[in-house]
Each structure stands twice: as C-alpha cells, then as structure tokens.
Amino acid sequence: MGEQPELGDGPVKKRIGVMGGTFDPIHHGHLVAASEVASQFHLDEVIFVPTGEPWQKDRRPVSPAEDRYLMTVIATASNPQFSVSRIDVDRKGPTYTTDTLRDLRAEHADADLFFITGADALSQIFSWRNAEELFDLAHFIGVTRPGHTLSDPGLPEGGVSLVEVPALAISSTDCRVRVASGEPVWYLVPDGVVRYIDKRRLYLDPSSTN
C-alpha cells in the first residue's frame, strides 16, 4: 500500500512544546502551564528539558541534575503527551537555551518548536546568552504566573504569544523552604515527587533552599 497523500501545500509539521526549567523540584505550576499551552496551541507533545547548569541560579547550590531529571520523569510519566529530554543535563557547561533549541531542531527537523516560559523568566530573556538568536529558533509563549506581570519586554513582532494559564501560586523555592522546615509539599508537587524528595533527603539543609 502506498503512503497517504498529504493535504494542502506540503506535509503538516508537528507542533512541539518545549518546557525548560531547573525543576528543583518540578511542581504543579510547571505541569499546568505545559498542559494549558498544549491545549491552547494544539501541540502534539511537550518536551520537558531540565537544565544542566543553570548559570543564572548561582545564588545557592542547585540539586544534582540527575535528581532534577528523575523528578521530572516521575512527574510527567502519566501524561502520554509529555516526555523529558536529557540534552541539557548531558551537555557540559552552562545551559543556554540557544543550544537547547538548536539540538532539539536537529532531533526534530520536521517540527515547529514552541518554547514555554513563565512571566518571570520572560521578563529576563534579554539577559540570556545570544538572546537575539532565540526567536529564530522557536516561537516563544509567555505564560502568566501569580506575583509576576506578564509583559512583552520588547520581543520581535510575532515572535511571542502571551497566554493566561490557571493561576497556581507555587514556586520551587517555596517547596524547598517547606521541606527544610518540615512542612508538607503534598499537592504542590506530584505524589511521586514528594516520595522522591523524601527518599533522596533533598532540601533538608535550610542554607541551600533560597
């Protein structure tokens, strides 16, 4: 049997969301943002990409990349639309999103990429390395986040979409502080992540939480 003919002008491109983050730990704010963008933008899938060395988060020691990667796998395992990439964890040196997007474009040459970022990260985007190249590599989607104003910091015309997502006032910092002070993180992070934090004894040292 021959291949199905393509409709329209050419093959329909896959639409892949990319959710980059330090995920220390991953929480329901990340998951809701990815799910909502996937729905609103008719994405085929969302790839979560934990950072290797997040060079702008150097105020405190970040948990080992392998722990952050595994928590991301646990958190996304139940959603068939979600997957996790090791590309930033496996690349040596500081994590730059231009590298992330170049590598993903090489792996998914047939796809359009949509990079998902919260209001706080979007407002800092011009401090990222080679920021001017970012918008040629993916379409950017800025999502609302409680406590932060979602505004366009001067992004190129058509390069970014601003999207409202259900407001979850959760941050990884708050989760770490709660664990260090013996407060629960149940329902702020997926159940498997609560258990992983406990098993690996993460975030118990108060000096490394903030």
Q: How many degrees, rounded to 5, is the angle at CA 177 between CA 30 and CA 31?
A: 10
Among 18, 23, 67, 96, binds ligand ATP (CB under 6 A): 23
Instruction: Kindly tell me which of 100 and 172 has the beta carbon lying closer to ligand ATP.
Output: 172
Instruction: Kindly tell me which of 35 and 100 has the beta carbon lying closer to ligand NCN.
Output: 100
Q: Does 52 bind ligand NCN (CB under 6 A)?
A: no
Rounded to whole angstroms, the Cα distance separating 23 from 171 reads: 10
Binding mask 73-112 for ligand ATP (x = CB under 6 A): ----------------------------------------
Contacted entry of ligand ATP, ligand NCN, none for residue 65, CB cut-off 5 to 8 Å set by kind: none
| Total number of residues that touch ligand NCN (CB under 6 A) | 13
Rounded to whole angstroms, the Cα distance separating 61 from 42 reads: 37
Contacted entry of ligand ATP, ligand NCN, none for residue 200, CB cut-off 5 to 8 Å set by kind: none
Q: How many degrees, rounded to 5, is the angle at CA 48 between CA 198 and CA 196?
A: 10
Neighbour count for residue 195 (Cβ, 10 Å): 12
Edge to edge, what strands does the sheet with 111-118 contain?
82-84, 45-50, 14-21, 111-118, 139-143, 160-163
Q: How many degrees, rounded to 5, is the angle at CA 92 between CA 62 and CA 45?
A: 80
| Interface segment toward ligand ATP; rule CB under 6 A; list 86-94, 106-114, 116-124, 179-187 | 116-124
Residue 155 DSSP label: P
Look up residue 13 and give its two tokens: 């491109």
Q: Does 57 bind ligand NCN (CB under 6 A)?
A: yes
Residues 66-125 that bind ligand NCN (CB under 6 A): 95-97, 121
Binding residues for ligand NCN, per CB under 6 A?
20-22, 51, 54, 56-57, 95-97, 121, 128-129
